[in-house]
Structure 1
Amino acid sequence: MSRYYINLHNKGRTDAGAVIGYDKPLRTFFLQGFFEEDSEVDEPEIWIGTCLEEFPTLESIVEEARSSGYEIGGLKHADVIAMLAEAGHKHEPTIWERNGLIF
């Protein structure tokens, strides 16, 4: 699983510690951001890309974030290339999938 720190913008706010990446076992890109500092629960405000093959392309997750009012900034060109290379490899089904435990 790759993780790259980005700036995530929403409604005049910026989360400089947001994360985007690629999850090999789930074969999806993911995005997490806006953790509440005062909250007792470490749940992000946005966390997408948690299901099998939910966002197979980087473009698809960026579009989903935008449709929810989020803009991604600070993503380095080298990080984009690394994520695309990771996503471009053929990944065999996991043991969980082969046994019907992940849908």
Structure 2
Amino acid sequence: MSRYTITVTSDGRSDEDAVIGYDPPLRTFFLQAFPDESGDDLALWLGTSDREYETVDALHAAGRAKGFDFMPLPDSVALSLADDLAKEADRPRHDGPPAALMRHLQSD
């Protein structure tokens, strides 16, 4: 799983320690931002389901729909995310009982 620190903004606030990355087992990009004071909860956590956001553009659109923005990405982060996705292009789909259970639970 890759993780890169970026800045996410929302309603005049910014989280300079937000995290964007790619999760190979879930085959999705993810975004985490704005932890609460305890650090246990996040105001924004996208990309927790199988193939939820297959492109950074889809992740960006979902974030904006919830009132959060993270564009433009630094060039180094954008290139690293593209490289992370390319490395996983030939990875076989996860099969077996745990993967089947996760697909079943997500379909409900």
Q: Structure 1 runs of 4+ off > 6 angstroms?
A: none
1:9 aligns with 2:9: yes
Q: Give percent identity, aligned residues only.
A: 35
TM-score, structure 1 as length reference = 0.87
Deviating more after overlay: 15-24 vs 41-50? 41-50
CA RMSD of aligned residues (A): 1.5
Matching of residues 1-103 of structure 1 within 5 Å: 1-37=1-37, 39=38, 42-73=40-71, 75-88=73-86, 89-94=89-94, 97-99=95-97, 100-103=100-103
| Cα-to-partner distance string for 1:41-86 (whole Å, 9 max, x where unaligned) | 6111110100000001111000110111111057321211111121
Tell me the SS of whatever aligns to 1:102.
helix
More strand as a share of residues: 1
List alignment gaps of at least 5 residues for structure 2: 104-108
